[in-house]
Amino acid sequence: CLRTVKIPALWVTQAQQRWASSLPMNTVVLFVPQQESWVVERMGRFHRILEPGLNFLIPILDKIRYVQSLKEIVIDVPEQSAVSLDNVTLQIDGVLYLRILDPFKASYGVEDPEYAVTQLAQTTMRSELGKLTLDKVFRERETLNTNIVHSINQASDDWGIRCLRYEIKDIHVPPRVKESMQMQVEAERKKRATVLESEGHKEAAINVAEGRKQAQILASEGQKTEQINKAAGEANAVLAKAEAKAKAIRLLSDALAEQNGNAAASLSVAEQYVSAFSNLAKESNTILLPSNSGDISGMVTQAMTIYGSLAKQSSKKLESVSPEWAMEKSEELVPPAQ
């Protein structure tokens, strides 16, 4: 008799309906196609599995009971609802890739192995989704696929079927949840923009403060250098004045030691006296004058007398050190009278 393989309409669509062999008749000489296994029963009991190629059967006693395809089978898992860990209802569908490894178990272990695997994939998907929150469902999609394949293979070993892959096609969320997710995404983007803007202001403030710090450091270094240069200039000026004054004193001393030195000194004192007398009453109205302020010669004589007494005191100090050297110095300090 001729028997066809039943294909459930629940998971097979016209767009992806796979080819399935019909049950062939026992013609004694049979040719089995590649990637197919024919299960033969003899008098109602399993006898053997025909391999691809030439095979011989006994008429009437042997009967081809099942035809199993060993190719990889693609099954579209229908869309179904599932509840995530945070109580969000999702509509999710997928694609299942499987292959029959043991034709005997696939024929006698379950009535319709492909339909059984499809139902197992749906229940496993709902179970795995219930362990994850909505955010993790989108982030851990690959992990979810791996867990579903592992769970299906654990249950389908007795059916002679191996699940190769499971891929989630679409995940649909309720409109309100979708709106809230969109708002969350926009809020996250605004947050990142605000953080980036604040970091920019922070960097700008740091740069401005660093610039001011460097400016103050450079200004203080400039002031320090200016003060050092100013102090060095003033010190050099003081030294120059002191050297000039010392040189002037040496020249004056040499001049006094020469011939007619007292006359020159008297002339200089007289000139200074006249100059000082001419400047009286220019800075103040109160003036104290000696009784003989008009006697210029007397004032000059008094000044020269003071100078002579100072010279003698210096010569006495020099004599206590070295008589000969003191004599020379006294001769230099006290010029001969004219």
Whether 198 has a pLDDT exceeding 80, the answer reads: yes
Mean pLDDT across the chain, nearest whole number?
A: 77
Under the banding of pLDDT at 50, 70 and 90, the label for residue 303 is low
Contact 55, 110 (CB under 8 A): no
Global pTM value: 0.48
Average pLDDT over residues 168-193: 83
Residue type present at position 233: G
Model confidence pLDDT, tens digit, residues 49-60: 898 888 888 888
Under the banding of pLDDT at 50, 70 and 90, the label for residue 143 is confident
Tell which wins on pLDDT, 192 or 291: 192
User: 281: helix, coil or strand?
Assistant: coil
Tell which wins on pLDDT, 338 or 246: 246
